A and B are shown apart, each in its own frame.
Chain A
C-alpha cells in the first residue's frame, strides 16, 4: 500500500487507483468479526431480509420470520471492548400493526429514511412511517408475497414492483395509493423482482417457471426479453420455451453499474447475464447449493477492481470473482441456512442473516488489529483491581 500512496503523492498514478486497491484488499480479507456484533433483537425470529439505507448507509433494517422488524444503527458503537451495533427501535410481532406471519422482504425508501416498506407471507405489503413506527398504508394481495422492490434510481416514478404467488407482477404507485399496472408473462409464482440500477424503467423478475424476464414498464404489451441459458442454441423444434435456469430462480441482483445481472437458481447454478443483449456470459461458478423455498438475497460489491459477488450457500457465504468465476473465499459462521446478505460499500463490511436467528458482521481482518488493541487497553485499566480479587482466597495456612 505504501507504494500506492507514494505514487499518488508524486502524481504518477490516478487517485482513484489507491482507493480501489485498498478497497479490494479489504474485501479479500473479510472475516467474522471477533470484537463487533449486532445487538440481538428479541423482535426477530429467523432473519429473512436485511437492507441498508442508501442515503447515509447508516441504518440496518431487518425483517424476521415471526413478523417482527428491527432497525439497528451502524454508526453508534457503545461499549469499550465489545463493540455492539445498537438496536434503535423494533416492531415486535405482538403489535397489532405488525405482519401476522413472516416478513419476506424489507426495503428502505431510496430517498429518505422516514419511510420503509415490508411484505410477507400474510399477503400484505405495508408502508411504514419510521418515526411513528406505524403503517401509513397497507395493500392486500391474493397470494403470498415473495419479494418486492422499489427502484433505487427513479426520479420519475415511485412504483413498487411486487412478486407474489400469482404469475402477474403488480406495480403499486405510492403517490396514487393503489396498483397502477400489471405485468403478465410468467407462468407460475414470481419469486424475486429487482429494478435495474441503471435505468429506472427496467425491471427483472425471476419465477418458478425457470425463466427470468426483463420488462420495460413503459411498453404496453409484455416483457422485452426472456433470458435464455443456452443463448439460442440447443433448442429443440417443438420446445421453444426459454429457460434461464434448470430450476426455480430465487435470487436476482444487478451490478452497481447496471450492465450485468446475476441470477441464482435451484439448479445450484449462478449465472451472469449482460443486461443489454440478454446473453448468458457463460461464467462457470461451480455448484452452489440452493434449497429454494424462498428468495435469497445476494449482493455485489462496488468500487473494487475484480467485482466480488457474495452468495449464500447453505450455511456458508461464498465470495466469487464476478467475471471470472473463481472462488475467492468461504465465510463460515452461521449455524443454519443463510437467507440474506448486504454489503456496506463505505466500510467494506458484510452483514448476513440466517435461520439461526443471528445477524453476523464480517469485517476486513485488517480492522481486527486496531480492535484488538482497544481491547487490550481496556483490559489493562481494570487489571489492577481484578488481580487482587483473583488472588485472594478463603483458605488459611494455619492448622486450626
Chain B
C-alpha cells in the first residue's frame, strides 16, 4: 500500500514499450526537406513563449511597446527550470529572441522576439528623426547580432564602428542606457511605460492575495475576480508572473491549482 504513494526513481516505474517509433517510418519515406526530425520540432519552451506573446495585449498600450515577456513566466509553464534556461539560451544564440535586463534586480530578465524589437526600435528612431546612417548601422549590429544584455564602449566603437556622437543619439532614443562609465545596457525604448503598469498589476494581485483568508485562493477563483482597468496587462499575465517568480506557491488540489502567498 505504501509503495503506490511513495516517490519512485525513474527506473522503478514500469516502462511501456514504444510500438510505433515516431520517426522510423517517416524518415524512410520522405527524405530531404519534408522530413521533420526530432531536432526541428519546437520545444515546450518556445511554444510557451509564443503563447505568452499571443496573450500580450498590444492594443491596450496603443502599439507603443512590443510584446515583452518576463523570463520567469516560462518557469510557471514548463516543469524543469534548467531545461528552460538551456532552451532560452539556444534561442538567443540563434537570434530568435533577445534577453534584456529590465528591473533593478539582477534576476529580472525579460524576453522580446527579435522581430518585434527591431520593428519597434526602427519606429522609435524614425519618430525621433535620427539619421538613416545611424539607423542602418544600428539595425545591422545591435538589433540583430549583439547577443548580450550589455555592451561596452570599446565594442561599440571598434567592432560596430560607432562614433561618440552616434552613441549619444542612441542613448537619446533609449536603445542604450548608461550602466557605469564604460558600458551600456541594451534596453527597450518606452520600457518605462511597461514597467509602470507591470509593477502596478503585480501590486494589485499581491494585495488581492493578502486580503484572502489564510492568504490562499484557487487559481480559477482568482481568474474570475474583478481586475482594475489601469493594470492593463491582464490577470493571466500576472498570475504566471507571480508563480514563476516564486512569490507564491502553487499546490495541486482536488479542485484545481491553489495559490498560497509565500511569507
List the interface of chain A (C-beta within 8 A of B).
Answer: 1, 21, 24-25, 28-29, 233-234, 236-239, 246, 282-287, 305-306, 324-326, 328-329, 365-366, 368-369
Is the Cβ of B148 less than 8 Å from the Cβ of A325? Answer: no
- CB-CB under 8 A for A236 and B8, given A324-B80, A325-B81, A325-B82: no
The answer, yes or no, to whether B32 is at the interface (CB within 8 Å) is no
Among listed B175-183, B199-207, B229-237, interface-contacting one: B175-183
Chain B contacts for A325, CB-based, 8 A: 80-82
Task: Give A329's nearest chain B residue, CB to CB.
Answer: B7
Chain A contacts for B149, CB-based, 8 A: 234
Is the Cβ of A29 less than 8 Å from the Cβ of B183? Answer: no
Is the Cβ of A237 less than 8 Å from the Cβ of B11? Answer: no
Within the assembled complex, what's the spacing in Å between the Cα atoms of A137 and B182? 54
- CB-CB under 8 A for A21 and B81, given A234-B150, A365-B6: no
Within the assembled complex, what's the spacing in Å between the Cα atoms of A234 and B185? 10
| Interface residue SS majority, chain A | loop
Q: How far is the CB of B12 from chain A (nearest CB, A)?
A: 6
Q: How far is the CB of A67 from chain B (nearest CB, A)?
A: 32
Chain B contacts for A239, CB-based, 8 A: 180
Is the Cβ of A326 less than 8 Å from the Cβ of B6? Answer: no
Within the assembled complex, what's the spacing in Å between the Cα atoms of A334 and B75? 29
Q: Which of B11, B79, B86, B183 contacts A326 (CB 8 A)?
A: B79
Task: Give A284's nearest chain B residue, CB to CB.
Answer: B81
Task: Give B105's nearest chain A residue, CB to CB.
Answer: A246
Within the assembled complex, what's the spacing in Å between the Cα atoms of A31 and B213? 31
Within the assembled complex, what's the spacing in Å between the Cα atoms of A286 and B181? 33
Is the Cβ of B181 less than 8 Å from the Cβ of A238? Answer: yes
The answer, yes or no, to whether B254 is at the interface (CB within 8 Å) is no
Q: How far is the CB of B110 from chain A (nearest CB, A)?
A: 15
Within the assembled complex, what's the spacing in Å between the Cα atoms of A306 and B83? 16
List the interface of chain B (C-beta within 8 A of A).
Answer: 2, 6-9, 11-12, 75, 79-86, 106, 148-150, 152-154, 179-183, 246
Is the Cβ of B150 less than 8 Å from the Cβ of A28? Answer: no
Is the Cβ of B81 less than 8 Å from the Cβ of A24? Answer: no
Q: Which of B7, B9, B81, B83 contacts A286 (CB 8 A)?
A: B81
Chain A contacts for B180, CB-based, 8 A: 236-239
Within the assembled complex, what's the spacing in Å between the Cα atoms of A329 and B8? 11
Task: Give A26's nearest chain B residue, CB to CB.
Answer: B9
Is the Cβ of B183 less than 8 Å from the Cβ of A236? Answer: yes
Within the assembled complex, what's the spacing in Å between the Cα atoms of A44 and B132? 74
Is the Cβ of A25 less than 8 Å from the Cβ of B8? Answer: yes
Q: Which of A1, A236, A284 contacts B82 (CB 8 A)?
A: A284
Is the Cβ of A236 less than 8 Å from the Cβ of B152? Answer: yes
- CB-CB under 8 A for A287 and B246, given A233-B148, A236-B150: yes
Given A285-B81, A369-B2; 7 other pairs, CB 8 A cutoff: A25-B9, A236-B152, A237-B181, A246-B106, A284-B84, A286-B246, A368-B2
Chain B contacts for A1, CB-based, 8 A: 12
Chain B contacts for A287, CB-based, 8 A: 246
Within the assembled complex, what's the spacing in Å between the Cα atoms of A234 and B179? 11
Chain A contacts for B153, CB-based, 8 A: 237
- CB-CB under 8 A for A21 and B12, given A233-B148, A234-B149: yes
Is the Cβ of B2 less than 8 Å from the Cβ of A237? Answer: no
Is the Cβ of B183 less than 8 Å from the Cβ of A282? Answer: no
Chain B contacts for A305, CB-based, 8 A: 9, 11
Q: How far is the CB of B81 from chain A (nearest CB, A)?
A: 4
Task: Give B154's nearest chain A residue, CB to CB.
Answer: A237
Within the assembled complex, what's the spacing in Å between the Cα atoms of A4 and B1? 21
Within the assembled complex, what's the spacing in Å between the Cα atoms of A366 and B12? 15
Task: Give A288's nearest chain B residue, CB to CB.
Answer: B246
Q: How far is the CB of A182 from chain B (nearest CB, A)?
A: 33
- CB-CB under 8 A for A328 and B182, given A234-B150, A284-B85: no
Within the assembled complex, what's the spacing in Å between the Cα atoms of A321 and B246? 19
Identify 7 residue pairs between A and B in the complex whose beta-carbon atoms are under 8 Å apart, listed by A's number.
A25-B8, A236-B150, A282-B85, A284-B82, A286-B75, A326-B79, A329-B7
Chain A contacts for B11, CB-based, 8 A: 21, 24, 305
Chain B contacts for A24, CB-based, 8 A: 9, 11
- CB-CB under 8 A for A324 and B82, given A24-B9, A29-B6, A236-B179: yes
Chain B contacts for A328, CB-based, 8 A: 7
Within the assembled complex, what's the spacing in Å between the Cα atoms of A325 and B83? 9
Most buried by A among B81, B150, B180, B246: B81
Within the assembled complex, what's the spacing in Å between the Cα atoms of A267 and B233? 29
Q: How far is the CB of A303 from chain B (nearest CB, A)?
A: 13
Q: How far is the CB of A277 from chain B (nearest CB, A)?
A: 18
Q: Which of A236, A284, A365 contacts B2 (CB 8 A)?
A: A365
Q: Which of A28, A233, A237 contacts B7 (CB 8 A)?
A: A28
Within the assembled complex, what's the spacing in Å between the Cα atoms of A369 and B1? 11
Chain B contacts for A366, CB-based, 8 A: 2
Is the Cβ of B182 less than 8 Å from the Cβ of A236? Answer: yes
